[in-house]
Structure formats: structure tokens, C-alpha cells
Amino acid sequence: MMKTEDRGAGRPSVRARGRARAFGSLLLIALLLITAACTRFQIGVDCRNMESDLIDALQWDDVFMLGTSAEAAPDTIRTRAKPIGEVRFKLACAAHKWANGDASYLAEGTPIYALEDYKPTFRVVADGRVYQAIDNPNAKFMRDMYDIENKAAQVSLKGGLIVLDAAETQTFMALYLNSAYEGMRAFEKNRLADPIGYTIRLKDGSEVGGTYYLTNGPVMYPGFRVSDPLRELVEGKLREAGYLPPEAA
């Protein structure tokens, strides 16, 4: 029987190795997908006097980003390079058309900093927290979405239960970063099922996480259709570990 339930499936985030599983649930991925869709595309709604629970989000340079707690981000990636702007408006609810400089938790006027080692379309720092892209409408490939080329140390699946070796990690990253980024469109005609969490541990100790959906695609969060070579690599590792049945002869 296939073992596909994965407690490691989760939202993309910046976190120390020990925090990966804490944030890695399918529930959070579903929440982020729904929230990103609602917040980016609702128009004509003025919610400045409304109260609502919000995720810690920021929009900068057309990129929708999620924040992590300061203690979840390694000190090495919190190095401030230079100020690039400030928060324009603090939202009161999610039912709002986002604009650059809008934030949900950050106060108006909070400085936004570029990180020394990453493009600000991938990660920025504000109020001691690292914000990482979860949707970039200007990205054409995953390398445009995530500025992590030549920065990966290791790739793992299922919360670290399956670890790719150095050669496999290199192959995974090349295929991953050259995948065409579609964002939410990648999920529109696919029933998301059979989630497998993956984690890319970067050389600075931070991590990027997401989900590989086996059914109807496959597709990977944050939003691209999986190529045949990448599928063969990922599902081959799952077969080796007994999470998928052997291929028919």
C-alpha cells in the first residue's frame, strides 16, 4: 500500500532545521493557497475599520511574502544590507486589494531592508523578521521566484526521512530552478492529493520548504508542474524508501 500522508508537507518558510516540522503541515499549505488567492485578487473592498485574523504578510515589488518569527531565522541571513523602503499601510483584514508596501503585522513606517545574500524579490527583513516570497507574478521560472541557485546544501523529503545525496541534490536543484513558474495556475485544474513535503536546506542554515503533490500532475508548491526527470528523481527516492510501490516490469 502506498504511504503518502506526509506530516512534513508545509508552507515555504525560512527556519532553522529544528523548526522545519513545526511549520510543516498540509493545513498551513492549504491556508496559504486560499489566503494568497483571496488577498491578491479581491478588489473594491475597504476593510480599514474591520477586524480579522491575518497571516504575517508583506507585499513588496509586486511580490507577496510571508514572515517568520525572528528566532526561526538564522542570524546569518538577518544581516541588513541596505534600506529599500518602508511599510506604507497596515491592513486590518485579508479582504483587501494588496499594494506594494502593504503589510498585515508591521506598523506603517517600518523600514524594509534588503538582505546581503539574496535578491529582495525573494527575501527581505523588516522588524527583525525575514519575509520570503510565496507568489511572484513577474517570475517566469523558479529561479526567478527563489534566489537559491548554487546555495543549496541538501534536499530532503518527508520531513527529513529521505535525504538526497550530493549528486541527487545537484540534479534536483537544476530541474527545480529551471521549472516554469505558474503560481496558482498550476493548481487550478488539479485536485491536490497525496502530499509529500520537501525541504531545501541552504548553505547559510536557512530552509525553503514546499509540497510535492503526487496526484493529477504531479505539481509542486509554490506553483509549477513537475517535469518527467524531476518526477523520476523524486518518486524514485520514494520507491526506494517504500512509500510508493515498485514500478511494473
pLDDT tens string 60-93: 999 999 997 655 566 766 666 788 999 999 986 6
Is 14 a residue whose pLDDT tops 60? no
pLDDT of residue 26: 35
In 106-237, where do the E strands start and end? 111-115, 123-126, 129-135, 152-157, 162-163, 195-202, 207-213, 219-221, 224-225
SS3 content of the chain, % helix, strand, coil (to 5): 25, 25, 45
d(CA 189, CA 219): 11
Task: Please check whether residue 35 is in contact with residue 107, taking contact to mean a CB–CB distance below 8 angstroms.
Answer: no
pLDDT of residue 2: 42
pLDDT of residue 32: 46
Mean pLDDT for 181-203 is 87
The set of residues, in sequence order, having a beta carbon less than 8 Å from that of 204 and lying 6+ positions away, is: 74, 76, 77, 117, 151
pLDDT tens for 202-234 read: 998 899 999 999 877 799 999 999 999 999 999
Task: Please check whether residue 123 is in contact with residue 130, taking contact to mean a CB–CB distance below 8 angstroms.
Answer: yes
pLDDT of residue 16: 36
Mean pLDDT for 123-146 is 94
**What's this model's pTM, rounded to 2 decimal places?**
0.78
Q: 205's torsion region: left (phi>0), alpha (psi -120 to 50) or beta?
A: left
Range picked from 2-11, 51-60, 108-117 for highest mean pLDDT: 108-117
> What's the pLDDT band for 33 if we cut at 50, 70, 90?
very low
